[in-house]
Structure 1
C-alpha cells in the first residue's frame, strides 16, 4: 500500500469529521442538521476502519494517535449525545407528557377514584353500624392495639426508617401494578383493588375515630397520602383503560385498541413510580416522626397535594400555549 497516496485520499474525511466534531463540541447537537448528524455517524465508522488499517500497516505513531483521538471524540459525541437525548426525553415526559396523559385519561382516573371513595364510605358506614364488619377488613392485631392499648401502630417504623421506607415503596408499587394489571381481567380485579382499599381506609377511619385517635392518624396519613393515594388512583385509571380496550374497543380493532389504550396506561405507570418512591420516603421518615408536630404534617400534606394539582393542570396549559 502506498501510504502517502492512502493518506491523501482519506485525509478529507478526517478533516471533515474533525470540523463537525468541533461544531458539536462548541455549539451542541442542535447546531447540526439531520444530514450532518448522519454524516458524523458515517464518518465515525469510516475513520474507525482507517484507524484499524493504519495500525496493521504501521503508518506511524503520530497518525495513529491522531486517528485514535478523532475516533474517541466521535464516539463520545455519538453515544453521550444519545444518552443526553434519552435523558432529555425523560425530562420532557415528566415536564409535559405525564400531565398531558393525566388530562387525556381523567375520566378513567376519576372513575377509579370514585370506586375507592364508594368503598371508603361503605367501610366507614358499616364499621360504625356493625362492629363485626370491622374485623372482616382490619387485622385483629391492629384493632387490639388501637382499642386495648389506645395507641396507633406507626411507632414501629421509628428506628427502622430505611428498611420501613423501602418496604413501603415496594408494597405500594406492587399494589399499583396489580391495579394496572387488573385491567386485563376486563377491569374486575382493578375494581376489587380500588373498592377494597377504600373499605380498608374507611374501616380504619372508624376505628381511630371511635378511640379518639383520628387527629394523629390523619396527621400520619396526610404527608405521604397526598402523593400515594393519587398515584394509586392513576394506577386504577390505567387498569380501567386496559379494560376499556378489551370491553369497548369502539372504532378500533381489539389489538389496536390494546395498543392505543395500553400506551396511555404505560405512560401513567411511568409517571406514578417517582410519586410512590417519594411517598415511601415521606411515610418512612416524616409521617411517623414524633418530633415533627402534627399541624406541620397536615400542612405538608396539603402543600404537596396543591403542588400536584397545579403540576397536573398548569403544565398541560403551558404545553398547549
Structure 2
C-alpha cells in the first residue's frame, strides 16, 4: 500500500474528526457524524497497521480514536463512580480470580519460614557465622525494638509504605521472568527467620512476635499477593491457554497493574499500623488483635466482595470499552 496516497485520501476525514473533538457541545447531527467518523477511522487504523504500520501515524490515529470515544460516551475513567468501582469490583475481583496463585505463594512462604526458623533454632552456631556477638547483642537488645520508635510516626509510616510498596512492585515487575520473584521472596522470609531465631535464643521471642504481628500479617500478605501475581504473569507466557501468548501476557499484565495499585493502598494501611499501633503503649494482645482484625478484613474483602464481583463477570482486567479498538478487515 502506498502510505502517502492513503494519507492524502483520508486526511480530510481525520481533520474533520479533530475539528469535532475541539468543539463544545455537539448537535445531534454532529454527534452522528462523530460516531460515523470514529468507525471509519478505526477501520483505517486497522488497515494502516496491517499494510503499512508507520508508528507516528498509528499513534496519531489511536489518539484521535481515544479522544473521540471519550467525546461520544463521556469520560468515566476519572469519575467518582470509576474510583468506587475499582475498590468494590475490579481490585477485589482480581484478587479473587488469582487467589490460587497468591494463596499458594502465601502457604509456601509460611512453610519455608517455619522450617528455616526451626532449623536456625536448632543450629545457633549459624547465627554466629552471620553476625558477630556484638552485632547480635545490639540487634536483640536495642535495634529491633528501637526501630519502631526511631522516627516520628507519620514519617515512619511513609518510609514503611515506600519500602513495602517497592518490594511488592519488584515482585510484580520481575514476575515475567519468574526466578527473580522467588529470590525476592526468599530474601524477605530469610531475614524474618534469622531475626526471629536471634530473639528466641535471647528469650525475647514474645517481644519480637508482639512487634511483628500487628502490622506484619497484612504487610506480608500483600507481599505474598504480589509474588503470586508476579508468578501468574510468568505463567501467562508459559501456558497461555486459549489465548495467544501476546494476549495472555497483555491480560495478566493489565490485571497485575490493577493489583499493584490496590496493594499500594493496602500497604498504606499496614504502614499506619506499624507506625502508630506497633510502638504504642497498648497491651500486646490488643496490638496483635488489631493486626488480626486487619488480616481478617482483607480476606473478607477478597472472598465476599471479590467473589461477588467475580461472579458478575468482573475479572480485574481493564473494562473492554477502554481497550484498544479492533476492527475486522479483509486482507
Contact 1:165 1:281 in 2 (8 A): yes
Q: CA deviation at 1:178?
A: 1.0
What are the equivalent positions in structure 2 for 1:89-238 lying under 5 Å apart?
89-134=82-127, 143-147=136-140, 149=141, 151=142, 153-158=144-149, 159-185=151-177, 187-238=178-229
Per the alignment, in what secondary structure is the counterpart of residue 41 of structure 1?
A: coil
| Residues 314 and 219 of structure 1: CA distance in aligned 2, closer, same or farther (over 3 Å) | same
Aligned length: 245
In structure 1, C-alpha distance between the alignment counterparts of 2:158 and 2:244, rounded to whole Å: 41
Q: CA deviation at 1:84?
A: 8.4
| Residues 142 and 157 of structure 1: CA distance in aligned 2, closer, same or farther (over 3 Å) | farther
In structure 2, C-alpha distance between the alignment counterparts of 1:171 and 1:313, rounded to whole Å: 28
Q: Which runs of 5+ in 2 are unaligned?
A: 1-22, 31-70, 313-331
What are the equivalent positions in structure 2 for 1:1-321 lying under 5 Å apart?
41-42=25-26, 82=75, 86-134=79-127, 143-147=136-140, 149=141, 151=142, 153-158=144-149, 159-185=151-177, 187-289=178-280, 291-319=281-309, 320=311
**Which has the greater radius of gyration?**
1
Correspondence for 2:326: none
Cα deviation, 1:165-210, whole Å, max 9, x if unaligned, reads 211111101111111122122x101111122222222222222222
Q: CA deviation at 1:272?
A: 0.5
Cα deviation, 1:52-84, whole Å, max 9, x if unaligned, reads xxxxxxxxxxxxxxxxxxxxxxxxxx9xx8478
In structure 2, C-alpha distance between the alignment counterparts of 1:98 and 1:244, rounded to whole Å: 20
In structure 2, C-alpha distance between the alignment counterparts of 1:261 and 1:240, rounded to whole Å: 10
Correspondence for 1:5: none
Contact 2:96 2:307 in 1 (8 A): no
CA RMSD of aligned residues (A): 2.9
In structure 1, C-alpha distance between the alignment counterparts of 2:89 and 2:132, rounded to whole Å: 42
Q: Which of 1 and 2 has higher RCO (CA within 8 Å, sep 6+)? A: 2
Cα deviation, 1:260-306, whole Å, max 9, x if unaligned, reads 221221121121110111111211222122x2221210111111111
Q: CA deviation at 1:144?
A: 2.5
Higher helix share: 1
Per the alignment, in what secondary structure is the counterpart of residue 203 of structure 2?
A: coil
Per the alignment, in what secondary structure is the counterpart of residue 212 of structure 1?
A: coil
Q: Which runs of 5+ in 1 are unaligned?
A: 1-38, 47-77
Q: CA deviation at 1:146?
A: 4.3
